[in-house]
Structure 1
Amino acid sequence: MAPVSQLAIAYPFLGAMWLVVMMSASPTYEFLGSLLFLMIGPIFATGLAVALGLPLRLNRRLSLWWVGNWAVYIVLAVAGALLLVWGYNKPERQVGEIDGFTYDVVLPDVGLLMSGCLLLTFLAVNAGFPRRPKRVSPTPRKLLSAQ
């Protein structure tokens, strides 16, 4: 599982990212729903990323491949950023009526924005530095023979 310190460091950044993305993709008529989603959205996304990353942490061979594989990290970061950019550049028109008031708004594509956020959340929660090899202390026999 992801270290608690990594989750604690990633959560403020992920919460801010989710806040910016969801509030920019939310029309004013859904403000309360967006605020409620913002309270549980980052926690849910982080939990989902941890759950999806469990095979990367529990399988030894997969973990050795994943941890410190910077090429995969860069590909995932670029893919997440491209999904966010594409979501903002691809408008989605919403038309309807709520409580007798009609609305006609053009918003960013929420599906692409959430996909980009989830991908970046997965990367922030599961990426890690390669493990350092353990230093082997010399055995007493080698110390005695060296003298």
Structure 2
Amino acid sequence: METLPAAHAAALWAGLNLVLLLTLSVLVVRQRRQHRVALGDGGVPQLAQAIRAFGNASEYIPAALAGFAILTLAGAPPLVVHASGLLLFAGRVAHAVGLTRSSGASIGRAGGLLFTWLGYIVAAVALLFYAIP
């Protein structure tokens, strides 16, 4: 079976984002065990931050991965998927680091959101371009 040119790029960014989600999930479990909280955040700020870092990534990553898959199927060049994937992944990592270090505004959170949105914009524009035969 022949692989589509952008499939390896999509696989790279899907894999890295899954590793990020797994890492953030492990951080939540670690906080739950440390503070003996089975449900919710138990009023523990560090646990609340870990939960939101995982939740926020879980809210943004799936739609982008779907976009990467559709770009691949639509015949987009790997560079488009890499550009969007790099922006998304960098944004999600920066946001997660910023959120786990501070519950308030931070450069990591702001920069992470900016990079995530830029990754979304690159993917959205490319998807609209490839939607027109």
TM range (shorter): 0.3 to 0.5
Structure with the larger helix share: 2
Which of structures 1 and 2 has the bigger CA Rg?
Answer: 1
Structure with the larger strand share: 1
